[in-house]
Amino acid sequence: MKCRKCGERALISLRRHNAGFCKEHFNEFFVRQVEKAIKKYEMFDYSDKIMVCISGGKDSLVLWYLLHKMGFDTTGMYVNLGIGEYSEKSLEKVKAFSEKHGLKSIIVNLTQLGHPITLMEKRVKRTACAICGTTKRHYFNKVAHENNFDIVATGHNLDDEAARLLGNTMRWYPEYLGKMSPALSADSQIKKKVKPLIRLTELEVGAYAFMNGIYYIADECPKSVGATSMIYKNALNTLETEMPGTKHYFYSEFVKNVAHKFEREETEKKEMHICSICGIESFLEVCTFCKMLEKIK
Ligand code: SF4
Ligand SMILES: [Zn+2]
Ligand SMILES: [Zn+2]
């Protein structure tokens, strides 16, 4: 296959775009998709202070790399989850990456704080992923609030969000369906949250990382085995193979035509409180994270 732009040998073929690209023109395509997402969903501009949530995986490192390259003011924020070797390896990748590119980062270490995920899952009656999600959200909100960031950016890609949409649709979770937009506006203490990789698939992000020498942790988190998100991703991959473009169509048309029907009006929104223990905004008097921590003590 030849590159759609220059006719040289293509290094990657994108069926959903019916096109192949050489390295130079794939990079150009990739950056254009990120720029389109930032513009279309009015995510941020050059005056914003952006906190990029980093896991050591390809998506978050590619996002950080690109936003920095595009000239945005970024700081990485990494939560070391305390999940054995997986967490040690991911920390190494984050450190090596930020040193190589001279980037600022903030690291929160759950083991040093006395509540690694492996301990929390023994004491709290929820799945490791549910505990992990609540914990990461807590620290993202706390660090963004305490350091006056304007924006919290995450590396979720099209596969992640289409799978999440499928899961929320299969179970008809109106609360979650109302929060599927790639740009969720700020809510006093809680900062605006954005997903600039939303127009790119997992495969495209992986190819970008490979072609640009971005070294990430390739191992999956051991807790992801059997996670329902993987089942939804596999189902969507089957559909995508038969009907290229399905994931993008499914997600983007939902955001364009349906999502607003699930969003709560200002008047319908639940009252927010300041958690009496951690001081971070929550729907509850004591937030879910602090309730979990009480079980550890
Ligand atoms: S797979 Fe689950 S436990 Fe592992 S990082 Fe993801 S959410 Fe956390
Ligand atoms: Zn080319
Ligand atoms: Zn709290």
- What are 81-95's pLDDT values in tens digits? 999 999 999 999 999
Two structure tokens written together for 230 = 């993987």
* pLDDT average, residue stretch 201-208: 98
Assigned CATH class of 41-269: alpha beta
Q: How far is the CA of 21 from the centre of ligand 2 (A)?
A: 5
Closest CA to 191 of 13, 22, 4, 53: 53
Report the separation in Å between the CA atom of 133 and the middle of ligand 1, taken as the mean of its atom positions: 7
- Whether pTM > 0.75 for this model: the answer is yes
**Ligand 1 probe mutation, 118, 132, 135, 229, most atoms within 8 A of CB:** 132
Closest residue (by CA) to atom 5 of ligand 1?
Answer: 221
Which residues approach ligand 1 with their CB closer than 6 A? 117, 128-129, 132-133, 221, 223-224, 227
Q: How far apart are CA 100 and CA 74, in angstroms?
A: 15
For residue 87, report the distance from its CA to the centre of ligand 3, in Å. 24
Q: What CA–CA distance (Å, rounded) separates 163 from 149?
A: 29
Q: Which of ligand 1's atoms lies nearest the C-alpha of 133?
A: 7
Whether residue 276 has pLDDT greater than 60: yes
| Residue showing tokens 């992000």 | 205
Q: Which atom of ligand 1 is nearest to the CA of 55?
A: 5
Tell me which ligand sits closest to the C-alpha of residue 60: 1
* Model pLDDT, residue 265: 65
**How far, in Å, CA of 103 to CA of 77, rounded?**
11
Quick one: pLDDT band at residue 188, thresholds 50, 70, 90? Answer: confident
